[in-house]
Structure 1
Amino acid sequence: MERTILVTGSTDGIGKATARTLAGQGHRVLLHGRDRQKGQRVLAELEAATGSDRLSLFVADLAVQDRVRGLAREIGEACDRLDVLVNNAGVFMPEQEILPGGIETTFAVNYLAQFLLTHELLPLFERSTGARIVNVASIAHRSVRSIDWENLPDFPDYDAYDAYAVSKLGVVAFTARLARTLEGTGVTANCLHPGVIDTKLLRAYMGGRGGAPPEQGAEVEVHLAVSPETGAMNGGYFEESRWTRPSSLALDAGVQERFWEMGSSLTGAVRWADPKAYPR
């Protein structure tokens, strides 16, 4: 069955490999990137490689919330439904960078953009049958032993790895909370650690090449996005080729609620504040 699938951050790395596999399977794939020229090159490359005429490109900087909203509007104008959202885009910032509004870039892109984009696309999920939300997290979330909530969202006491790990903890906690919100709607939400993969993000952290090829990480994303056996799972965390328990901190209901409230407050995503507005 052909699905309409948005893969964020799909002009490079794991996202690009995921988009290529999904397009090769015959799905309608919506590519996303920050740079239009690069995106057009990748679009042409994937069309030639897969023979697909069902690829489209959308451009938006996910660090800027107005552009996240704009991306959702453009997709809503181009598509009558969305069957799968793969929130793949992510960053690792070796140096602290504060965005207008006082939000640190890692937290803005890795957590808040996922929260906001998912929220804005809810009407498109409602029009699908069995829609899936797939959030890319990281095993790094396990390194967070406690959360200094006073350090969020601007991270005045900045450590690059800690900021990344906390943002990914937020993704796992958000996914679990989102899954409960979506129960009974036909929409599922799960998250994953794609493995230690050779990407720009890993090189920004390690300073050199390392890790498995992007295609290996893409296998995990594709599995959660379209595999029949993962369709019934809701609120799960996938790591090391299996469903497993995330950290105890990510499973803490209070932590989940705190990240949820922070996401709502910092993005102005109000739909979730009204239970009547959840997709049915």
Structure 2
Amino acid sequence: MAEQTILVTGSTDGIGKAAAHAFSRQGHRVLLHGRDPEKGQSVLAELEAATGSDLLDLFITDLSVQERVRNLAEEITGTYDRLDVLVNNAGVFMPEREVAPGGIETTFAVNFLSQFLLTHELLPLLMRSAPARIVNVASIAHRSVGSIDWRNLPGFPNYDPYDVYAVSKVGVIAFTAQLARMLEGTGVTANSLHPGVINTKLLRAYTRGGNEGGSPEHGAEVETYLATSPDTGTMNGGYFEETRWTQPSSLALDQAVQERFWETGSSLTGAVQWADPKAYPR
């Protein structure tokens, strides 16, 4: 495969780091993202040494802060003239309730809203790079949600950490499906995935220190498959669960729910007018 430019959010740890390593081994230009500058530089040096690649770059931002998400997109579009793949990998699980700017609960801000906003801001660059792919990391946890208490969003004053995490992942799948419909015929695709139950910092936060789960490399296999495999190049609007395409929950498939999450993302981020992708210059 020809060299691709691939952004992987949350790529200084866990699945994202393993995916960045795999993409680099494949010969792609990989844009790393993390929140901590010191850790980011350490991971950058580690991957350069491990892969021998000189096609690695590092961007630092806190995805819970919308202004910084916009700044990240501006920095990338100002540095690169193409983006072939956006992997929205970053995610958190917060055992205790924390609130991001704007009164938005942090799990929801990072797991759903940052994906929504970063995709919106980078879409013109992706369109200019078509064929291009958007890969959004969701979770099998979404299947535990029977209904959405919209009154509890976005601050989640009635806080249960697992429920909030699961709702955020319903949002990811719902948003991806709606986005995919908008992108039909443009050469840009959008799919979501569950990478497996993987031994990461996020899982350890949920299990309070337990080491259950597969290796980050195993989870990264799913991300790299959707991001670069010729077999998945034309798939659009799908949901992949560990090893196969499958249907997400009926709730995530509900078009009214998909539209409500889209409206929620638009109103909370100010991304209220998504331009017609077909109108973007090629």
Q: How does 1:76-225 map to 2 (within 5 A)?
A: 76-207=77-208, 208-225=210-227
For residue 264 of structure 1, what is the amino acid of its counterpart? S
Question: How big is each residue's C-alpha offset from its partner over 1:139-170, in whole Å with a ceiling of 9 and x where there is no partner?
Answer: 00000001100000000110000000000000
**Distance in structure 1 (CA, Å) of the matches to 2:113 and 2:188:** 20
Gaps of 5+ in 1: none
Q: Match for 1:227 among 226, 229, 251?
A: 229
Q: Secondary structure at the match of 2:135?
A: strand
Q: 1:175 to 1:278 in 2, by over 3 A?
A: farther
Q: How many residues are paired up?
A: 279
**Cα deviation, residue 209, structure 1:** 1.2
**Cα deviation, residue 276, structure 1:** 6.9
For 1:256, the equivalent position in structure 2 comes to: 258
For residue 157 of structure 1, what is the amino acid of its counterpart? N
For the Cα contact (< 8 Å) 2:10–2:90, is it kept in 1?
yes
Q: Secondary structure at the match of 1:120?
A: helix
Question: How big is each residue's C-alpha offset from its partner over 1:191-245, in whole Å with a ceiling of 9 and x where there is no partner?
Answer: 0000000000000000121100100000000000000000010000000300000
For 1:2, the equivalent position in structure 2 comes to: 3
Q: Secondary structure at the match of 1:85?
A: strand
Q: Secondary structure at the match of 1:154?
A: coil
**Cα deviation, residue 184, structure 1:** 1.1
For residue 121 of structure 1, what is the amino acid of its counterpart? L
**Distance in structure 2 (CA, Å) of the matches to 1:246 and 1:279:** 31
1:247 aligns with 2:249: yes
Gaps of 5+ in 2: none
Question: How big is each residue's C-alpha offset from its partner over 1:100-127, in whole Å with a ceiling of 9 and x where there is no partner?
Answer: 2110000000000000000000111111
Q: Which runs of 4+ in 1 moved over 2 A?
A: 274-280
**Distance in structure 1 (CA, Å) of the matches to 2:279 and 2:118:** 15
Q: TM-score, normalised by structure 2?
A: 0.97
Q: TM-score, normalised by structure 1?
A: 0.98
For residue 172 of structure 1, what is the amino acid of its counterpart? I
Question: How big is each residue's C-alpha offset from its partner over 1:14-61, in whole Å with a ceiling of 9 and x where there is no partner?
Answer: 000000000011000000000011000000000000010000000000
**Distance in structure 2 (CA, Å) of the matches to 1:240 and 1:199:** 16
**Distance in structure 2 (CA, Å) of the matches to 1:120 and 1:100:** 19
Percentage identity across paired residues of the two chains: 75
Q: Secondary structure at the match of 1:77?
A: helix
**Cα deviation, residue 278, structure 1:** 5.6
For the Cα contact (< 8 Å) 1:93–1:106, is it kept in 2?
yes
